[in-house]
Amino acid sequence: MEYLKADMYLNVNVDRSSSFMQFHLGVEESFKTLFWSIFGLSEVISVVLKYDHKFIENIGYVLYGVYNVTMVVVLLNMLIAMINNSYQEIEEDADVEWKFARAKLWISYFDEGRTLPAPFNLVPSPKSFYYMVLRIKSCLIHLCKANSRRHNNELELGVLNSQAKDEPLMTYPRPGEEFISRKSGKHPTRYENIMKRLIKRFVLKAQVDRENDEVNEGELKEIKQDISSLRYELLEEKSDAAGELALLIQQLGDKFGENTMRH
């Protein structure tokens, strides 16, 4: 019985020591403990030992406290740095923002709005009468123009109807003859003149663009001939320059040889 008790005591101690080693020396468990201690979610029991050893336990408390203090200081420094950065950006843009707000306020003074504040804006001002007269005038002008336009259209329709009654619009051709229209003798209307002018403008623009964009075959041949003649001229000038350079080198060599022979 004593042997069994001793064996059980040894097994319990071994299991406790293995769990203690796994809890305190494992990388995963240490990371979890230190990470959650930043947010205050890790318990202080993490540094408590299973056996009575006050010195090591006090060292654990000290290290754990130093870690927490260090993390708090680091986080506070990061917060202060972010606040300083934000304040610096606001201070740099303060002048621009102030000028923009001042310009916006000055521009608002030129806007057309109410002359008087809220209670007194119900009283008609001279400016409101002036604007009312202008609006009535514009409405009358618009109505007069519409009536004159309608009258002109009616006159044109009456003229067309009278011409249609006087002479037929077209004659049916005989077999082998072309179609003859009586309407062609009538003067062209404003719409037809505008359409003709637009067509002429489009055709002229298309012709000018085509003349500017297209390159004739003869022009291409002339360009090729000019390039080839320029190449031959450059080659001839290069060969002439090389010959002159060789002659100068030879003359310099002869003079240098004569001078050396004299000395």
- Regarding whether 24 and 79 lie in a shared domain, the answer is yes
* Domain C-terminal end among 67, 94, 121: 94
* Domain C-terminal end among 71, 94, 117: 94
What mean pLDDT comes out for the span 111-126? 73
56 versus 216: the higher-pLDDT residue is 56
* Residue 166 pLDDT greater than 70, yes or no: no
241 versus 120: the higher-pLDDT residue is 241
Helix, strand, or coil here: 248? helix
- What the block records as the tokens of 196 is 């003709």
138 within domain boundaries: no
Percent of the chain whose predicted confidence (pLDDT) is above 70:
69
155 within domain boundaries: no
- Regarding whether 38 and 21 lie in a shared domain, the answer is yes
137 within domain boundaries: no
186 within domain boundaries: yes
Alpha helices by DSSP H, the chain? 2-25, 27-38, 54-92, 94-110, 126-166, 190-213, 217-262
- Regarding whether 233 and 189 lie in a shared domain, the answer is no
- Regarding whether 261 and 177 lie in a shared domain, the answer is no
Distance of CA 36 to the CA centre of its chain: 44
* Residue 165 pLDDT greater than 70, yes or no: no
- Regarding whether 60 and 16 lie in a shared domain, the answer is yes
* Per-residue buried b or exposed e for 143-182, using 16+ beta carbons within 10 Å of the residue's own CB: eeeeeeeeeeeeeeeeeeeeeeeeeeeeeeeeeeeeeeee
Q: What is the extent of the structural domain holding 54?
A: 2-94
pLDDT digits (tens, 9 = 90+) for 67-95: 888 988 999 999 999 999 999 888 888 88
pLDDT band at 23 (very low <50, low <70, confident <90, very high): very low
Question: The whole model's pTM is what?
Answer: 0.29
Most confident of 14-28, 33-47, 157-171, 231-245: 231-245
- Regarding whether 55 and 7 lie in a shared domain, the answer is yes
- Regarding whether 232 and 209 lie in a shared domain, the answer is no
What integer pLDDT is reported at residue 7 of this predicted model? Answer: 45
Distance of CA 260 to the CA centre of its chain: 76
135 within domain boundaries: no
* Residue 167 pLDDT greater than 90, yes or no: no
Domain total of the chain: 3
- Regarding whether 67 and 20 lie in a shared domain, the answer is yes
What mean pLDDT comes out for the span 219-225? 78
pLDDT band at 50 (very low <50, low <70, confident <90, very high): confident
What is the pLDDT of the chain when averaged over all its residues? 74
pLDDT band at 163 (very low <50, low <70, confident <90, very high): low
- Regarding whether 87 and 69 lie in a shared domain, the answer is yes
* Residue 14 pLDDT greater than 80, yes or no: no
- Regarding whether 258 and 198 lie in a shared domain, the answer is no
pLDDT band at 126 (very low <50, low <70, confident <90, very high): confident
CA distance between the termini of the chain: 128
Percent of the chain whose predicted confidence (pLDDT) is above 90:
8
- Regarding whether 19 and 62 lie in a shared domain, the answer is yes
249 versus 127: the higher-pLDDT residue is 249
107 within domain boundaries: no
66 within domain boundaries: yes
- Regarding whether 205 and 252 lie in a shared domain, the answer is no
DSSP per-residue string spanning 11-58? HHHHHHHHHHHHHHH-HHHHHHHHHHHHTT-S-GGGG--SS--HHHHH
144 within domain boundaries: no
* Domain C-terminal end among 94, 118, 153: 94
